[in-house]
Structure 1
């Protein structure tokens, strides 16, 4: 069952308030590799990317001691 136009607008309004959006490019074919890896981990591609960034930032802080 498709969502109503009012629900779609409400979702967009909430997302605009609650989330920042980041767009980036990867080489052809890499998106499928990332998506397959994320699925094997049981998470969405967006969740995997966010986790990868967070873990890398935490590791960098431990290694360098910089905020």
Structure 2
């Protein structure tokens, strides 16, 4: 059975995203999202970019700490 929800363009985008991206669903306390969005905007990034940069920096720091 095929899923015919949405327009063909939407289905194509969803198919591409499913093949090329993993999804994360972080939950944050009420009110923190606005803080994170403002911080991201102040740096000229989207919230998604800001989170990815923060995660990459944290992984890099942790990797250096465990290697030392």
Where on the TM-score scale, by shorter chain, does this alignment land: which range?
0.7 to 0.9
Q: Flag as ranges the 4+ runs of structure 1 deviating above 2 A.
A: none
Give the secondary structure class of the aligned counterpart of 1:50: helix
Aligned length: 63
- Where in structure 2 are the equivalents of 1:7-46 lying within 5 Å? 7-46=9-48
Deviation at 1:14, TM superposition (A): 0.1
Runs (5+) with no aligned partner, structure 2: 1-5
> What's the RMSD between the two structures over aligned residues?
1.5
TM-score normalised per structure 1:
0.87
Deviation at 1:13, TM superposition (A): 0.3
Deviation at 1:34, TM superposition (A): 0.2
Deviation at 1:37, TM superposition (A): 0.3
TM-score normalised per structure 2:
0.86
